[in-house]
Amino acid sequence: MSKIRGIVHQKKVGHSGTLDPNVDGVLPICLGHGTKIVDYLMASGKIYRGAITLGFATTTEDLDGEIVAENHDFTPLTTSQIETGFKNFVGETIQIPPMFSAIKVKGRRLYDYARNGEKVERPKRTIKIDYFKQLGESIIDEATQTQTIFFEVKCGKGTYVRTLAVDFGKQFNIPAVMSQLTRTESGGFDLNQTVTFSQLEAASKHGELEKLIYPIDYALKAYPRIELSKSQWELVQHGGFIDTREVNTTEAKIVLGYNEKIRALYYKDVENNRYKPFKMFNLD
């Protein structure tokens, strides 16, 4: 974050979920007023493509950790078994996050406990998997006596794909590890819309940062947009309410715009037949 702050010359910078050191892909960054919509970017879910290798497990659940379990005397899984194993995760399921993660327990990060060799009970969490499918044929390596399975998964926020890989192996009593992972979509953005640090630096140097920055509208495109009149805008600037009869929608949340800019996100107060402020942007 500090590197991006230096490049874009903004103090207020936020992100919609981190990437592990050995994971690449899409990471939406929010600037200024945009930091107010981080939750909406995260709520849209993420898509990953990666690989699960069967035959060994590690402390970190990926290739960065030390091997803690091995079994190279297993019968390789068939395509049918793999597909069934993936389908068992679809929907809402309970996941226990890995020890090497940034989740806090009793004021400390789990990875702090792990690095000190301490044990602590990890909080269970409900995650949502929209789909989990195999991509192509798996590879059986006779030399290493492992099987590598390629997949794509769409999941909700808070999902550890590393742990999905490990739990997939547990279904068949085979140690497993996530051996490769790329986040292909996040917050409505895909790989084709990403830029590197060097591209960002070049754009900043030539005064072309605006070409790489998406408006707040992009993150709120799922909500109906209402264009305000001058009198309504004056009301909204001071946190005023909008009568439900003034808008042509019954949605629970609406985006308010004025002078070609997103100004606010309002929610419906059903009991009083009005829309009230939820998030405010660009009030100048």
Distance, CA of 169 to CA of 50 (rounded, Å): 15
Instruction: Find all residues with CB under 8 Å of 135, minimum gap 6, and list them.
Output: 49, 150, 151, 152
Q: Confirm whether 130 is a catalytic residue.
A: no
Burial of 175 (0-12, 13-18, 19+ CB in 10 A): buried
Distance, CA of 188 to CA of 162 (rounded, Å): 22
- Structural element, H or E, at residue 230: helix 230-237
Cα–chain center distance at 14: 13
b/e per residue 225-234 (b: at least 16 CB within 10 A): ebebeeebbe
Structure tokens at 27: 């990471």
Distance, CA of 118 to CA of 228 (rounded, Å): 57
Distance, CA of 25 to CA of 146 (rounded, Å): 26
Kindly list the catalytic residues.
Answer: 20
